[in-house]
Amino acid sequence: MGRFQPGQIRDGIAECLSRNPGEGASIGEIERYLEEAFGEVVPSSSIRSYLQLNTPGKFERLGRGRYRLADALSEESAEPDQVKLKGKPVFKHGKTRLFQADSLEWLASQPENSIHGVVTDPPYGLVEYTPMELAKLRAGRGGTWRIPPSFDGHTRAPLPRFTTLSSSELDDLERFFRRFGETLKPVLVPGAHVMVAANPLVSHLVSYALDAAGFERRGEIVRLVTTMRGGDRPKNAHEEFSDVSVMPRSNWEPWLLFRKPTEGTVAQNLRKWGTGGLRRISAERPFGDVIQSAPTHAKERKLANHPSLKPQAFLRQVVRAILPLGEGTVLDPFAGSGSTLAAAEAVGYQSVGVELDPTYADLAARSIPLLAALPDRVRLVEVDPVTPEAVDSISVEG
């Protein structure tokens, strides 16, 4: 490998692919091209790793082991009223585009100032969505995923065990969010808001990392929801310490709110970029930071069987708020089953999602149209009698 100059193999691959921009080439074809060009064999394993390293930034995987230059596709992905992005979406529906890729790599290849808001629910253990852990989840046993106890005869959705993260995994998590923030920032227009689902055990690390990446902390949205986290008695000593819980039963979920710094005042930024503030619910009601919610309804789980599915009633409220003038493009870089994108579609916004796992990307392609079509006023929220306006608040009409 030391025989080649830095970048020589990558440039050779690009040269080979540029000969047939539409069809691209297989690994075998690239291997033969490079052998001819360099006068010596470049092992197919090296070609594969260069392709993987630079996909989707420079190269695009077409399936069946074929690749082509990502640039060759960039113009295809957008309708006239959509922002042009690099790469080819695996799915389009209405104003929604979904890309199957690693979001950090994807973001690194996108044009600056193209996204106007982010609403996302990222992976937290950073291991729970690796292929090995997903295989365990899909096989129904072990690993990071646990099935919460059933207390009412209903089977609960699996939850990742965040408390098992070691201190080095927590450091990795902070580094991951710092890198995510730094890669995301240039792609956002000034004043774009970023809303990130977290949980009370790790939200401080995410907040610190996004702050360090140059975002301004703008608050925290409290999603009121009774979760299955915490509240358990000490392990293997339930009877001995029957009056003790190890941690509080969690009745809320933090959604961190950040903003890329504005250019000038909020009013100037709104005029130039359409961002900088949050869309009001109505003339009388600003968007608030406590939202009554409920676990995702079984109806929605049937449409989108993802272990971290978030409910439409909640997502439609936050997605609507993220574009202050209702104009621009919302991104979910960890799209899962596409619930954020479905919410954007339901409120009439352009949206873009990125999902790494091909099975979830397929699921999103099936789920987005179904979730987006759910009516707004369906009783997706169990109404707390103290806040009867919760049902009204899921209307997206403002």
Ligand X SMILES: C[S@@+](CC[C@H](N)C(=O)[O-])C[C@H]1O[C@@H](n2cnc3c(N)ncnc32)[C@H](O)[C@@H]1O
For ligand X, the binding residues (CB under 6 A) are 102-104, 121-123, 129, 306, 308-310, 334, 336-337, 339, 354-357, 360
Q: How far apart are CA 259 and CA 191, in angstroms?
A: 6
Measured from the CB atom, the residue of 58 and 310 that comes closer to ligand X is: 310
Q: How far apart are CA 368 and CA 145, in angstroms?
A: 25
Three-state SS for 334? coil
Cβ at position 115, least distance to ligand X in Å: 15
Measured from the CB atom, the residue of 245 and 359 that comes closer to ligand X is: 359
Q: How far apart are CA 265 and CA 47, in angstroms?
A: 49
Q: How far apart are CA 190 and CA 114, in angstroms?
A: 10
Cβ at position 266, least distance to ligand X in Å: 29
Measured from the CB atom, the residue of 30 and 303 that comes closer to ligand X is: 303
Measured from the CB atom, the residue of 190 and 200 that comes closer to ligand X is: 200
Measured from the CB atom, the residue of 55 and 339 that comes closer to ligand X is: 339
Query: Is 113 buried (19+), middle (13-18) or exposed (0-12) by CB count in 10 A?
Result: middle
Cβ at position 219, least distance to ligand X in Å: 20
Cβ at position 121, least distance to ligand X in Å: 3
Measured from the CB atom, the residue of 103 and 262 that comes closer to ligand X is: 103
C-alpha 377: how far from chain center: 26
Q: How far apart are CA 193 and CA 220, in angstroms?
A: 12
Beta strands 188-197 and 159-160 are unpaired
Measured from the CB atom, the residue of 17 and 198 that comes closer to ligand X is: 198
Measured from the CB atom, the residue of 96 and 269 that comes closer to ligand X is: 96
Q: How far apart are CA 368 and CA 389, in angstroms?
A: 27
Strand-pairing partners, residue 145, are 160
Cβ at position 95, least distance to ligand X in Å: 18
Cβ at position 129, least distance to ligand X in Å: 4
CA distances from 53 to 42, 188, 312, 356, 366 (A): 16, 24, 35, 14, 29
Cβ at position 122, least distance to ligand X in Å: 6
Measured from the CB atom, the residue of 97 and 306 that comes closer to ligand X is: 306
**C-beta separation of 101 from 354 below 8 A:** yes
Residue nearest ligand X (C-beta atom) = 336
Residues sharing a CB contact under 8 Å with residue 277, sequence separation 6 or more, in sequence order: 191, 266, 270, 324
Three-state SS for 188? strand
Cβ at position 72, least distance to ligand X in Å: 23
Measured from the CB atom, the residue of 114 and 120 that comes closer to ligand X is: 120
Six-digit token string for 23: 């069809």
Cβ at position 269, least distance to ligand X in Å: 28
Cβ at position 336, least distance to ligand X in Å: 2
The identity of residue 45, as a single letter, is S
Runs of H (alpha helix) within the chain: 8-18, 27-38, 44-53, 103-108, 131-139, 167-184, 203-212, 266-273, 298-303, 312-322, 339-347, 358-372
**C-beta separation of 344 from 322 below 8 A:** no
